[in-house]
Amino acid sequence: MLNITNLTFSYPKQPKPVIDDLSIRIEAGGVYGLLGPNGAGKSTLLYLISGLLTPKSGSIDLFGVNTRLRRPQTLQDIFIVPEEFVLPDVTLSSFVKTYSAFYPNFSMEDMKAHLDTFEMAGSDFRLGALSMGQKKKIYMSLALATNTPLMLMDEPTNGLDIPGKASFRRFIASKMDDTRAIMISTHQVRDIDQLLDNVIILDRHNVRLVASMQDVAERLTFKLSNNPEEINNALLRMPDLNGTMIVKPNDNQTETNVNLELLFQLAITRPEIISQLFDR
């Protein structure tokens, strides 16, 4: 669906590229988690995919069309929920009516269902009077109701209350099918760890890891350990209240739940291990 080929991008007056020779293929039917430290280029990558920035070199094609051309047909296939966004000061119903006209696959039933999930259905709010979190719920409801094949989300859970985060996870899971891909960039890994099918970890200028969660679970074991020998031999260890969380190669083919925080730390601090294990 989305092909990113040899992508390089640098900001003006910055000698080093933010993204250097990145190649990824995004297929429909998966939720992709985009992780990385601050300044690693996560938001930049989302903007590049949306055609909001021009690559220095390389290409980004969605269904074979360069997204930078910003053709209306391509824009109908992408919806980005940025960290900062603006909503007009109009009523919810008129907002939905006006914007939905631009998206051929928009579903009013879905919109109502999402608003209901966020406990925002029933009233015709004036958007200007809402809090940032409420605006985000409405914007994300619209985003998901447009049914675009590619959905990009930048820190979607920032500003959401605890029930809002739970609702977000619920409806992301409910929206997934074989026709769409969702890419979520976030630091709040615990908000999305159960949702992800694939993980992409970026570090300064480089991709450290692109893998499915299944692949990660097959190759690595994440566990809490109190065994000193096991802790010493681990690829990565992190003290925890009940012992030490460790990552080690999955030698006995028993799959454990992937701990994204540990995976992220491993990818950043020991990239050579990740390269070795995942053949990058």
Residue ranges binding another protein (CB under 8 A): 11-12, 47, 50-54, 70-73, 75-76, 78-80, 82, 84-86, 88-90, 94, 98-108
Q: How far is the CB of 27 from another protein (least distance, A)?
A: 23
CB of 31 to another protein, least distance (A): 21
Assign residue 9 a region (left: φ > 0; alpha: ψ between -120 and 50; beta: otherwise): beta
Q: Which is nearer to another protein, 126 or 280 (CB)?
A: 126
Shortest Å distance, C-beta 98 to another protein: 5
> Would you say 101 or 162 has its CB closer to another protein?
101
Shortest reach from residue 90's CB to another protein, in Å:
6
Distance between CA atoms of 242 and 225, rounded to whole angstroms?
9
Smallest gap from residue 249 Cβ to another protein (A): 41
Q: How far is the CB of 18 from another protein (least distance, A)?
A: 11
Closer residue to another protein, CB minimum distance, 73 or 257: 73
Nearer to another protein among residue 92 and residue 268 (C-beta): 92
Report, in Å, the least distance between residue 26 CB and another protein: 18
Sorted by sequence, the CB contacts under 8 Å of residue 112 that are 6+ apart come out as 121
SS (H, E, C) 161-225: CHHHHHHHHHHHHHHCCCCCEEEEECCCHHHHCCCCCEEEEEECEEEEEEEEHHHHHHHEEEEEE
Q: Which is nearer to another protein, 76 or 206 (CB)?
A: 76
- Of the pair 105, 194, the CB lying nearest another protein is at 105
C-alpha distances (whole Å) from 177 to each of 130, 147, 186, 209 are 31, 11, 22, 24
Closest to another protein by CB, 106 or 264 = 106
